[in-house]
Amino acid sequence: QQQVKQSPQSLIVQKGGISIINCAYENTAFDYFPWYQQFPGKGPALLIAIRPDVSEKKEGRFTISFNKSAKQFSLHIMDSQPGDSATYFCAASMGSWGKLQFGAGTQVVVTP
């Protein structure tokens, strides 16, 4: 049973547009929510992460919105660029630090 549900499975957005990826979780013990970017044949790279005591975190063009009561969090990629074309994974971790549960992933394609 997947502990973190991610949608959509894939996303096509025009250059300059906003990419939005959503994740939901059930386990309220999760206390760390990172987003990873993965290019084909490479390991995941940390983009941005948030903890439940914060509702929003922004780093450059990437923003995480966190809704603790709804047990949902989302990634917004502003001003999407072709170089952002990759697979994005949300994840969650609790207690045992570093043991991540991953969402299914979203393949983002940014068209020129």
Partner 1 sequence: GAVVSQHPSRVICKSGTSVKIECRSLDFQATTMFWYRQFPKQSLMLMATSNEGSKATYEQGVEKDKFLINHASLTLSTLTVTSAHPEDSSFYICSAPDRGPRGNTIYFGEGSWLTVV
Q: Beta strands of 45-95 (E only): which ranges?
A: 45-50, 56-59, 62-67, 72-77, 86-93
User: Does 101 help bind partner 1 (rule: CB under 8 A)?
Assistant: yes
User: Does 96 help bind partner 1 (rule: CB under 8 A)?
Assistant: yes
* Of 15 and 58, CB closest to partner 1: 58
**How far apart are the two ends of the chain, measured CA to CA in Å?**
37
105 in helix, strand or coil? coil
Q: How far is the CB of 101 from partner 1 (least distance, A)?
A: 7
Q: Which residues of this chain interact with partner 1, rule CB under 8 A?
A: 32, 34, 36, 41-46, 49, 89, 93, 96-105, 107
